Structure 1
Amino acid sequence: MTFSRREALVALGATGLTAACSNGVGSSNAATIDARVDQTLGSLFSNYPGTRDLANKSVGMLVMPLVTEVGLGFGGGGGNGALRVGGATVDYYSMVKASGGLQIGAQQYSHVLFFMTSEALQNFRRSPGYAAGANVFYATPSQGENLNAETTTSLAPVIAVIFGQSGLRVGATLEGVKYTRIIP
Structure 2
Amino acid sequence: MRVLKKNLYTTLLVLFALVLASCGSAKKTGDDLVTDAQQEKAMIEREFPMMTSYFDEAAGYAIFPNVGKGAYIIGGASGNGAVYENGNLVGYADLKQVDVGLQLGGKAFVEVLFFETDEALEQFKDGSYKLEANASAVILDKGFSEDLNFKDGVAVVTVPKGGAMAGISVGGQRFEFNPVQ
Alpha-carbon distance between aligned partners in 2 of 1:29 and 1:154, rounded to the nearest angstrom: 31
Displacement of 1:79 in angstroms is: 0.5
The one-letter code sitting in structure 1 at the alignment partner of 2:142 is Q
Residue 159 (structure 1) shift? 1.1
Q: Does the C-alpha gap of structure 1 residues 31 and 173 become closer, same or farther in structure 2, counting only changes over 3 Å?
A: same
Partner of 2:3: none
Shift of 1:117: 1.1
Deviation by residue 1:78-119 (Cα, 9 ceiling, x = unmatched): 000011112211010000010112111001000111111111
Q: Report the equivalent of 1:143.
A: 142
Tell me if structure 2 keeps the 8 A contact 1:114–1:158. yes
Structure 2 unaligned regions, length at least 5 = 1-5
Across the aligned residues of Structure 1 and Structure 2, the Cα RMSD in angstroms comes to 2.7
**1:170 aligned residue:** 166
CA drift of 1:12 comes to 7.5
1:59 matched to which residue of 2? 59
Q: Percent identity?
A: 23
> How far apart are residue 25 of structure 1 and its match?
1.6
The 4+ residue runs of structure 1 with deviation greater than 3 A are: 5-12, 14-21, 133-137, 152-156
Give the AA of the match of 2:130. A
From 149, 156, 163, the counterpart of 1:160: 156
**TM-score, structure 1 normalization:** 0.82
Q: Residues of 2 paired with 1:49 and 1:28: CA distance?
A: 29
